[in-house]
Structure formats: structure tokens, C-alpha cells
Structure 1
């Protein structure tokens, strides 16, 4: 499955969330990650995020898609997605 994760967390936890997500997904721009994952990876990501965030204060939104979405960029591409062979 393809997922997109966006988050709004307390500044004290931003770097921890970003560092964790970079291990699993592609950084798109500030507070946005995306990538193809298995069901097991998806569950590990959710569990890891739950350990980092404060659910009473922080917000993480996960969009699950069946395939990689069409992306249209307006303006500057912050971190271009590259096909790795």
C-alpha cells in the first residue's frame, strides 16, 4: 500500500518524528512523508509513532492509497522523488 503521513507535533518531538519516519518513508516537505509499505511496515510505523507522540497534544494523519498517486508540483520541489533501481 502507498501511504502519506502528515503531522503536527510539539516542537520538542518534531525531530524524533522526522528521524523515525525517514527510516521508513520518503521525506516530501516539512511534516510530510510518503512511500510504499507492506502491511507489517505500516503497523510498525503506527506503533513507532504512538511511542513518540503525545496523543493528547500531537496530531498525525495517515492517508492509505492503493497505488502511488499522481503528483503535480506547483513551485519548488523540496525533495524530489527519485526512482531507485
Structure 2
């Protein structure tokens, strides 16, 4: 399935840990957004790792699941960012 994960983390230390976890599973598309194809099992594993890091009283994680990626159309206004370009 295709997922989009957005987050709002209030502390830099937790933010960096969450970002590092998400990088293992998905592509970083914007500052607080990751996206990509992932299995249900891998998504559950990813969310479990994140759950161990976040403060549920201060932080939020949104997961949008798209069961059929043909039903999603992505449009970008302005500069299309790709954080993958920063890696060799």
C-alpha cells in the first residue's frame, strides 16, 4: 500500500529520532512528510518504533493509507523538493 506520514514533534531530540525511523521505511518528501510503498507489516513495525519515541501528550503522527495508489494524483505547486537528492 502507499502511505503518507506527517508529523508534528515538539522536541528536537524526539523529532530527529522519528525522522531517522521514517527514513528506514519511506521517502522524505517535505520537512514533516514522508511517503512511499510499504507493506502492512512494515508499517506496523515502523509505527511501533515511533510509538516508543514520541510523547503522546505533545506529539502527533498522521498516517494516510492509500490501498490503491492509482487513485491518488499528486500535484506540486512551486518547487518540487526531493530530500533524496541530498544523498549519494
Paired with 1:5 and 1:67, the residues of 2 have a C-alpha distance of 16
Shift of 1:12: 2.7
- Runs of 4+ off more than 2 Å: none
TM norm structure 2: 0.84
Aligned to 1:71: 74
Give the C-alpha shift of residue 67 in structure 1.
Answer: 2.7
| Structure 1 residues 66 and 77: CA distance shift in structure 2, 3 A | same
Count residues in correspondence. 81
Gaps in structure 1 of 5+ consecutive residues: none
In the alignment, which residue of structure 1 is the partner of 2:63?
62
How far off is 1:5 after superposition?
Answer: 0.3
Long gaps (5+) in structure 2? none
Comparing both structures, which one devotes a greater share of its residues to helix? 2
TM-score, scaled relative to structure 1: 0.87
Aligned equivalent of 1:45: 46
Q: Do residues 8 (structure 1) and 16 (structure 2) align?
A: no
Separation in 1 of the partners of 2:83 and 2:54?
27
Deviation at 1:80, TM superposition (A): 7.3
Deviations 1:8-54 (A, max 9, x none): 00223111111110110000000100111111101101101101111
CA RMSD, 1 decimal: 1.5
